[in-house]
A = this chain, B = another copy of it.
């Protein structure tokens, strides 16, 4: 199975990377932007065919390593 995990800063947490991107885009003439936020995406292939087991495993990965759950939230998408 293929898993795609989005890890993004929670709302209200300052995002200096997003601010920098917003500012740089403004310098290039892109206007009308707001709420520019940058996060991480992690893709992986997981052996096995059981979506429930795969989701539980990815949840554990996020909790233990991939996300800092104090300031980040994560979303998991599984595809065949």
Contacts and interface: CB of A to CB of B under 8 A. Distances in A.
Given A25-B65, A28-B65, A34 B40 contact: no
B42 A21 contact: yes
Contacts of A25: 61, 65
A30 B66 CA distance: 12
How many copies, total?
Answer: 2
Interface residues of A, number: 33
A61 B61 CA distance: 33
Interface in A46-61: 46-48, 57, 60-61
A35 interface: yes
20 contacts: A6-B41, A8-B43, A21-B66, A32-B46, A33-B44, A33-B45, A33-B47, A34-B44, A34-B47, A36-B42, A36-B43, A36-B44, A37-B44, A38-B41, A38-B43, A39-B40, A39-B42, A39-B43, A40-B40, A40-B41
